[in-house]
Amino acid sequence: MILPDYRGGSIANLMATLSSSLGGAETGYLPVTGFDHQVLKRARNVVLLVIDGLGYQYLESAGMGSVMQQHCARSLTSVCPSTTATAIPTFLTGVPPQQHGFTGWFTYFAELGSVVTVLPFCTRLGYMPIDERVLSPLDLSGVKPFFNRVPVSSHVVMPDWIARSRFNLAFSEGARIWPYNSMTGLYKAIRKAAGQKKERNFVYAYWPDFDGLAHRFGVASPEVEAHFAQLDLLFSDLMSALKDEDTVLLVTADHGFIDSGPQRTVRLERHPELKSTLMTPLCGEPRLAFCYVHPDRREQFEQYLAENLNREIDVYPSSRLLEEGWFGLGDPHPGLKDRIGHYALVMNENYKITGRLPGERPVDHIGVHGGLSEQEMYVPLIVSDT
């Protein structure tokens, strides 16, 4: 089990490094250890490309010998859970879940009495969009965007289907948004953003397709391998294109992947006795789920898991995760305790747990993430000082 290293080795520490190097305020976290911060302070442009799902273990195995692997400075840990819905807000705010308050794809907000699908920013039941005139993602976080922390010209390069989403618009405040619709479009947008002004620029770019292919086909699939080769070529092309722009190009990820399958899926509907102990649907992630348990059924909940699912699941009181710093350091978000339930189900090996609401399709991903395995938790820090 790999826990986040918030004392110098996580993506939250990378954001602290960037904030300091760009002249911004302290985030409450130390810079990344073993990394030359001066190279960032000297650069006119700093480009951070986040490749969703690109794990360090994948880079060091399937990606061995690639250009990105040759430029990998070290590994970092993701946050907990190791998933897009907690890690992307870390990149967009500069702080981990301890402060930004988002704890998984499905997060229960006690102040709303509702489970929200965080990044699409809609209700879980019925997938209904939440009107930003009524409630903004910023209201639920209370943390200002990273781009408002740093006194440089900021740019956000996003797929066009995400660029104007409620979540992205809220946390891109202070930055210019550059939509794109292909890998070529990503390349062009980064080049344009980095070449905008002769003053300092910070460019945050996001690529989602590695994640999508790994979910569908598995991270060990030929489809993902072929896509990685394209990404490696993109990285090489960006290095060449930015070499005269006084640019540091950083590449990292929000999480890695582990392959699973139907035989490794615990489906809540097949465990009605366990389901009857819960007050809300499962929250969090299939690899690390948060449970809200009826006060008078906690003994039944614990006993059922111990007798029937002890191989697949390790059970922790959620308060223990908070006390041990799984979500970050320092003062927690005022709503964090309510957003992690009473118990956390940490899945062993490559198991996952799912529960369905009316209208939801079964979760049948081959590639999964959110857990605490090396494959999911470690991401690369790739550096090119062009």
Q: What is the pLDDT of residues 64-120, one digit of tens each?
A: 999 999 999 999 999 999 999 999 999 999 999 999 999 999 999 999 999 999 999
Q: Tell me, yes or no, whether 192 and 249 share the same domain.
A: yes
Structural domain including 242 reads: 11-95+143-259+372-385
Q: Which SS3 state, helix, strand or coil, does residue 335 take?
A: coil
Does residue 198 carry a pLDDT above 90? no
Q: Judging by DSSP bridges, how do beta strands 367-368 and 258-259 pair with one another?
A: antiparallel
Shared-domain flag, residues 207 and 294: no
* Residue 65 shares a structural domain with residue 194: yes
Answer yes or no: do 310 and 346 share one domain: yes
Q: Could you tell me if residue 210 is inside a domain? A: yes
Q: Is residue 3 part of a domain?
A: no
In a domain, 124, yes or no: no
Same domain, 346 and 222: no
- For 357, half-sphere exposure in the C-beta direction (CA atoms, 13 angstrom radius) is 13
Written as one letter, the residue type at 294 is H
**pLDDT number for residue 40:** 92
Same domain for 201 and 61: yes
We report the CATH number of the domain holding residue 250 as 3.40.720.10
Q: Does any domain span residue 274? A: yes
Residues 250 and 353 in one domain: no
Confidence of residue 124 (pLDDT cuts 50, 70, 90): very high
Query: 191 and 78 share a domain?
Result: yes
- With respect to residue 128, please indicate whether it lies within any of the assigned structural domains: no
Closest CA to 236 of 382, 381, 378, 56: 382
DSSP H helix total and E strand total for the chain = 16, 18
CATH of the domain at 315: 3.30.1360.180
Residues 192 and 77 in one domain: yes
- Answer yes or no: is 108 within a domain: no
Nearest-Å Rg of the Cα atoms of the chain is: 20
Q: Is the pLDDT of residue 359 over 80?
A: yes
- In 3D, which of 105, 90, 73, 63 has the Cα closest to residue 4? 90
102 belongs to a structural domain:
no
Residue 208 corresponds to which tokens in the numbers above? 């989602």
Q: How confident is the model at residue 386 (pLDDT cuts 50, 70, 90)?
A: low
Most confident by average pLDDT, 29-43, 89-103, 184-198, 361-375: 89-103
Total domains present in the chain:
2
Same domain flag for 272 and 318: yes
> What pTM, to 2 d.p., does this model score?
0.96
* Whether residue 165 is found in the same domain as residue 251: yes
Same domain, yes or no: 356 and 324:
yes
Report if residue 251 sits inside a domain: yes
